[in-house]
Chains A and B, each alone.
Chain A
Amino acid sequence: MTDAILVEGLQKSFGSNTALAGVDLTVPEGSVLGLLGPNGAGKTTVVRILTTLLQPDGGRAEVAGIDVVNEPDRVRSLIGLTGQYAAVDEYLTGFENLEMVGRLYRLGKRDARTRATELLERFDLTGAADRPAKTYSGGMRRRLDIAASLIARPRVLFLDEPTTGLDPRSRLGMWEFIADLAGGGTTILLTTQYLEEADRLADRMVVIDRGRVIARGTADELKAQVGGQRLEFTVTDAAVLPAMVARLRPLAVDEPHVDEQARRLSIPVSGGAEVLADALRRLDGQTAAVFDVGLRRPDLDDVFLALTGHATEESPGADGVPAEPVPTGGVR
């Protein structure tokens, strides 16, 4: 498999602010790469350089084997970009927007119209085709925006935070469209702050923070970096934690972690559901203060926290302080 995107030692500064401090990544043709990172990590800068909107200060960037700095025009005819805003003209109808972009991609008049009609159909916008985009909902605008970036059948598609600001239902719908595109063989570079999104859509991931790549691999590989599964208890009274640790220590494969403030106990374990049953047996009925118990596999939030020392922002899966536990009964 050849690489549809190749980035080597990419650097970019804005004044004294270093946005990219040497980023390397490759995206094999036909695959989806999730570029993850918090706000300001440099995700958008990577996308802007690859889509010829920004000049890098150093390093190399190629799309479909073409250097983005030396031959930007050739790159532009092979790519589609959906930016963070739905970049559609709100006074044009959906159809007119797509036709215009098609014409600017150098499609002939008839071709542009046919493509516009096809894409409106595919993105469930046929009913709104002749309405100005101003009247569209946020989800519809995003769909129109993606449709616009697909009009010339790009070999490589850049989606910069395609679901930021969408309500959960629109987000799910968008995920289906993107998964569908990926299934059709389009190479996609997707940036996101939502780990769930990357987990669901991307074949491989690159995590960047402060302009550097801090991890890469498949979702499973990244999770393995953080460790295996854990038993997690949340209790109503932190005072019971030491006794619980003492009883459960034999199950631990690594040092248990106690968070008194969150009233939480996390014990690295190995094995399946029987570990959970075993743990409950070991507590021997002393479970009145236990508010919640579970066997957890790490998710990408854990990966992120472990890698960067800080959680992602705006991540729907990241729960800071747990909700106030409601006592389920009392031993005291």
Chain B
Amino acid sequence: MSSLSTALSDSVVITKRNLIKVRRVPDLIVFATLSPIMFVVLFRYVFGGAIGGLPPGISYAEFLLPGIFAQTVVFGSTITGASIADDLQKGLIDRFRSLPMSRSAVLVGRTVADAGLNVVSIAVMALTGLLVGWRIRSSFGEALGGFLVLLAFAYAVSWLMAMVGLLVRTPEVVQNASFIVIFPLTFVANTFVPLETFPSALRVFAEWNPVSAVTLASRELFGNVPPGYPVPDAWSLQNPVLYTLIWTAVILAVFVPLSVRLYQRTATR
């Protein structure tokens, strides 16, 4: 077998293993979907009436859903880090490293399984969104593109989190540490409120925050931004899809090799 096909078949074995866990521990999927549902409903009905500055002709539900999608998939990728830290703690990574398997398969299988989990939570949120007034106003192809942009970015973040998991070694620390970083990252953005309301320094950060670009990219692709509506001048938001894909590519280019290298050296203590 060539090394690519062995890497592929090993990754399939590991992905399958991770998905079995999702099936056996339904809490995982329940929590992965329950909190976004809660967010959708809370923001839609609690803040929805008070948030102004929305593009004309767009309901808050339409504005909100792409933002919630972006926040949820980014949070969803932290599961990668926590799960890897857990495997490390339980000695499973040692076992895998002593097997004649591909060096990248454990991480590939993990990130792919977590992308699968993100697909499920997006599906649940989309259904909830449709119930509270979210609509897709674009073509099927564009809408699919909107989902893919979200998933691609989250997949890249998964690799970043994989490295965090290998470094910190306890799942709880991954959860707490990533919360501190990801919470502001997904809030100081155009996810829940229009950027026009931000103080200027925060606004510059938010404009270049990749989470804003992911959100705007999917908003545009779902047709949740009226045509001709002006977006901020920042290049990142003028070209949100391109900017998102650049971030995705850069994160992958940096963290895939780094994480795989770290995986090969790391061991349970």
B17 and A89 contact, CB distance less than 8 A: yes
Q: Which single residue of chain A is at the shortest CB-CB distance from B99?
A: A104
A252 interface residue per 8 A CB criterion: no
CB of A52 within 8 A of chain B? Answer: yes
Closest Cβ–Cβ distance, residue A74 to chain B (whole Å):
8
Chain A residues in 8 Å Cβ range of B21: 89, 91-92
Q: A105–B99 contact, CB under 8 A?
A: yes
Mask of A156-172 contacts with B, CB within 8 angstroms, 1/0: 00000000000000000
Once the chains bind, are A92 and B95 in contact (CB under 8 Å)?
no
A94-112: CB near B (< 8 Å → 1, else 0) gives 0010001101111000000
A91 touches B25 (CB 8 A): yes
Q: Which residue of A lies closest to B267 (CB)?
A: A53
B101 at interface (Cβ–Cβ under 8 A)?
yes
Could you tell me the dominant secondary structure of chain B's interface residues? helix
- Residues of A with C-beta under 8 A to B17: 89, 92, 96, 100
Smallest CB–CB gap between A178 and chain B, Å?
A: 18
Please measure, in the bound complex, the distance between the C-alpha atom of A90 and the C-alpha atom of B87, giving whole angstroms.
Answer: 10
- Residue-wise, chain A 30-68 has the 8 Å CB interface mask toward B (1 for contact) of 000000000000000000100111100000000000000
In the bound assembly, the distance between CA atoms of A88 and B87 in angstroms comes to 10
Task: Determine whether B96 belongs to the interface, using a CB cutoff of 8 Å to chain A.
Answer: yes
Instruction: Please pick, from A54, A79, A85, the residue contacting B91 in the complex, using a CB distance under 8 A.
Output: A85
Q: Is B97 an interface residue (CB 8 A)?
A: yes
| Residues on B with beta carbons closer than 8 Å to the beta carbon of A106 | 1, 6, 100-101
The reply to whether B98 and A76 form a contact with Cβ atoms under 8 Å apart is yes
Chain B residues with CB under 8 A of A103: 9-10, 13
The digit string for B234-265, where 1 denotes a CB below 8 A from any CB of A, is: 00000000000000000000000000000000
Any chain B CB within 8 A of the CB of A120? no
Roughly how many angstroms separate A103 CA and B12 CA in the complex, as a whole number?
A: 10
CB-contact partner of B90 in A48, A79, A85, A104, under 8 A:
A85
Task: Decide if B268 is an interface residue (CB 8 Å cutoff).
Answer: yes
- Interface 1/0 per residue, A177-199 and B, CB below 8 Å: 00000000000000000000000
Q: Is the CB of A77 closer than 8 A to any CB of chain B?
A: yes
| Cβ distance A49 to chain B, nearest Cβ, rounded Å | 11
Indicate whether A83 reaches chain B with its CB closer than 8 angstroms: yes
Q: Are B267 and A105 in contact (CB under 8 A)?
A: no
Query: With an 8 A cutoff between CB atoms, is B92 at the interface?
Result: yes
**A148→B94 CA distance, assembly (Å):** 13
User: What A residues does B101 contact at CB under 8 A?
Assistant: 104-106
Alpha-carbon distance between A85 and B88 when the two chains are bound, in angstroms:
11
For A77, give its contact among B25, B90, B97, B100 (CB under 8 Å).
Answer: B100
State A185–B101 Cα separation when bound (angstroms): 26
Tell me the complex Cα distance, A52–B101, Å: 13
- CB closest chain-A residue, reference B93: A87
A-chain residues with CB within 8 Å of residue B99 when the two chains form the complex: 76, 101, 104-105
Q: Which B residues, 96 to 116, have Cβ-Cβ distances below 8 Å to chain A?
A: 96-101, 105
A236 and B126 alpha carbons, distance in the complex (Å):
82
The smallest C-beta distance from A137 to any residue of chain B, in angstroms, reads 17
Q: Are B268 and A104 in contact (CB under 8 A)?
A: no
CB–CB A83/B100 < 8 A = no
Q: Chain B residue with minimal CB distance to A50?
A: B98
Q: Is the C-beta of A270 less than 8 angstroms from some C-beta in chain B?
A: no
Question: Chain A nearest CB: distance from B84 CB in Å?
Answer: 13
Chain A residues with CB below 8 A from B1, complex form: 106
* Min C-beta distance of B4 to chain A, whole Å: 15
> Is B20 on the interface with A (CB-CB < 8 A)?
yes
Known contacts A89-B21, A105-B99, then 11 further A-B pairs from the complex at CB < 8 Å, ordered by chain A residue: A77-B100, A79-B98, A81-B94, A81-B95, A85-B268, A87-B91, A87-B92, A89-B17, A91-B25, A92-B20, A105-B101
Which residues of B approach A to under 8 Å, CB–CB? 1, 6, 9-10, 13, 16-17, 20-21, 24-25, 90-92, 94-101, 105, 267-268
